[in-house]
Amino acid sequence: MNDPSVNEQPANQPNTPIPEIKPGAHWTKKKSCVISAVFLSLLLLLSLLITLADKGKVGKGKVGMVKIEGVLGLDIDESTIVEELQDYRDDNSISAVVIRINSPGGAVAPSQEIFEAVRKLRAKKSVVVSMGSLAASGGYYIAVAGDKIVANAGTLTGSIGVIMEIPNVEGLMGKVGVRTEVIKAGSHKDMASMWRTMSREERMILQRLLDDVHDQFIEAVADNRNMDVAEVRELADGRVFTGRQAKELGLVDEIGTLEDSVKTAAKLAGIEGEPEVVTKKKGLSIRELLKEDMGQMFGHIFGRANPASGMQVRFLMSP
């Protein structure tokens, strides 16, 4: 007889089957995670290689676009424009650059800084300047640094001259009984003060200063337009020209549109077919927008009214 104690289980113990553990199950799951991680890493590496390869290729048919719009030193931050030009100079995927100018000019130093940045860019890449409605004085100063200048027939350009505007409120202050007392070390330290009439000697000093800056403008045009200094000096009395007049005088190269300027740049760079036009995206954060708008607002309010900014030398087309 069989012993019943061998086969019977206690009544309070459930009959639960023992789960079967397949050999290698944990390894299979770990292997899947490793494969996924390797796959993602390869995708990231491939994306990085494509980006680097694209940036390193020369002559891909890309034309960079830089826009200079507004008054230099007031609406336009020259450091931003210079940085943009440097980026295009160092980017090997960009074969040529078009600079679109819509500006009456402005402060001398910003004009000269952008001018030098364009010259450095021109040493490595083809640069074509496209003139919009207005590219005068400092705007024209920048333009001459390019390989070619393309203007519309009705563009206003030229205005090769220098101006300094100094308000004089001495008469007004006398009427209201206000007088400014000045303590200075150096006889000309308060030269160009708005609180008093300028002396003859001070006017001569400032005139020599403007003449020197004017000569710099004339020499820049003559050197970069392959013109005789005397020939440029005859045109450098501050007058403006239409694009068509400027072409006849040798101040611009072609009459055309922005689209024509892009085609000219592509041709100079040896780009075949339709070029891809690239522009730098501007930051649109609220902080940046407020910074720019407030800077422009206060610049317009205080730029001409602040006594401390009264003596400003400008390449500016002024009525």
DSSP track, the chain: ---HHHH---TTS--PPPPP--TTHHHHHHHHHHHHHHHHHHHHHHHHHHHHHHHH-S-SSEEEEEEEES-BTTTB-HHHHHHHHHHHHH-TTEEEEEEEEEE-EEEHHHHHHHHHHHHHHHTTSEEEEEEEEEEETHHHHHHTTSSEEEE-TT-EEE----EE-----HHHHHHTT-------SSTTTTTT-TTSPPPHHHHHHHHHHHHHHHHHHHHHHHHHHT--HHHHHHH-SS-EEEHHHHHHHTS-SEE--HHHHHHHHHHHTT--SSPEEEEPPPP--HHHHHHHHHHHHHHHHHTTT-GGG-S-EEEE---
The contacts of residue 300 (CB under 8 Å, 6+ apart) are: 74
Q: Annotated catalytic sites, by residue? A: 137, 189
Closest to 78 measured CA to CA, from 60, 53, 52, 105: 105
